[in-house]
Structure 1
């Protein structure tokens, strides 16, 4: 395998994440909100609930979970609606919605990047790449931790895996957290979401004091035939990255617990410019992003 193929921006190793950033936004009229980023790949999410629900959506046995995903620009298209359905499935299994019947729990996600790849821009067929999807899953988890109003079975952490292969005769190389500049070189990729919980079977904590985890969802696909062994390697690779995300979330919660509730609480591994270019207009009654 040539070094040109395996070389990564900023000299990252195949199993190295970019700098993780978590910002508790403190948005008005929501119960919890947070921004999560892998380097410059960032998403914003807010959680409202349990709140009053329309009679037509009322569920007598559990809370109704509503997910809305918004691209960086334009209106939500097919890709955003499909991603909203995925997030609803992932988080429905990690929340105790039966504790709040006849109410509504609303998630609103917003892409904060996508100018290079088209991901998050709402363009038909260009969608949300795996890393941007992972950042949105993590931002939603941190928003739930910030809200503290909906009990959780476990903490959902997600990372993206990319696949590089020079030719069919060589073994593919897996890379963690592919960024926009690497996307054209990939012949496979996917987001892996894991649920971390001490109630899962086995030892409560690993050697790194991280709870056990189980794969909740993935959309990993490749250009070639499906290989079970390769998928297992990708899953193990992603699990290590998800553990780093969990540790970062734990660190950010310590900041949240030790501080008074100011408008914004930052917990970042590297100081970055968090300004988002342009103004975003939102007509939602529950969330201001």
Structure 2
């Protein structure tokens, strides 16, 4: 594994700058934007809420996930990613705590001009780094919503493989500029939870983690040793993502306690109440007209 710097100056095991922003979107219970550099995704979470009878499950909440590309309509790649995201999230959520309800998650790509990532066409839709940003945005949005019980937090990173005549050259978090030069790679998603058993390699300041999902593949032959190396590299990166999420939650809590923020919330709530009252008054007038 090479220790030389890459074209953007990073070492093989270095992530790009992590960005986590809690957007506060209207009409949803939680939202977050997550990015590795310019590779960014936005996710919103709504629920638990009322579910249509044909989707109702008597023993657990219905998890509905849709993924939207940067441009165009959702194609095969986006729909397949929605299915994978549902399989990744289900083990981390206590869906049985809210039976006969709906939890709705909507993910949106915020990049995709250079490499084709985030476009709706088949084969160009979602590279591994963009998938990782979407998974992390979803985890952050669920934490922001705090309405769905969670077993832990899911953190994801991508690993790429450069062509090499000898040992595999693996790099963490490949950028858009590096994607055309890769011969393999994939996304690795880990569940961080204090409920998991401790391992000798678990740092004291972090909860233990376990691999939930990966789509690592290569156009050249690779063995289990390479896969284990890629997983170990990804786990180190995922720990950094978890630390960044923990720090972002602390900042979010401080922001919520800020008087200026509370004044903003109060003004927003007052405006919404006035709007609802106005709508109610208009509705009463209409009812009077109907009675006449």
Same fold (TM over 0.5): yes
Q: TM-score range by the shorter chain?
A: 0.7 to 0.9
- TM-score in terms of structure 1 length: 0.86
Of the candidates 125, 128, 148, which is equivalent to residue 127 of structure 1?
A: 125
Structure 1 residue 190 corresponds to structure 2 residue 186: yes
Of the candidates 208, 211, 218, which is equivalent to residue 222 of structure 1?
A: 218
Is contact 1:198-1:204 (8 Å) kept?
Answer: no
- Give the structure with the higher percent helix: 2
Matches within 5 A, 1:135-284: 135-167=133-165, 170-202=166-198, 206-207=202-203, 209-260=205-256, 262=261
Question: RMSD value over aligned CA atoms?
Answer: 1.9
Deviations 1:108-131 (A, max 9, x none): 000000100111011222120000
Runs of 5+ unmatched residues, structure 2: 263-292
Aligned residue pairs total 259
Distance 1:98 1:246 in 2: 26
**Pair 1:258–1:202, CA change in 2 (3 A):** same
The answer for the alignment partner of 2:276 in structure 1 is: none
The answer for the alignment partner of 2:51 in structure 1 is: 53
Matches within 5 A, 1:95-114: 95-114=93-112
Q: Secondary structure at the match of 1:179?
A: coil
Distance 1:179 1:135 in 2: 12
The answer for the alignment partner of 2:286 in structure 1 is: none
Q: Which has the higher contact order (CA 8 A, sep 6+)?
A: 1
Runs of 5+ unmatched residues, structure 1: 264-289
Distance 1:7 1:22 in 2: 26
Give the superposition deviation at 1:205.
9.8
Distance 2:199 2:253 in 1: 27
Is contact 1:77-1:122 (8 Å) kept?
Answer: yes
Give the superposition deviation at 1:2.
9.6
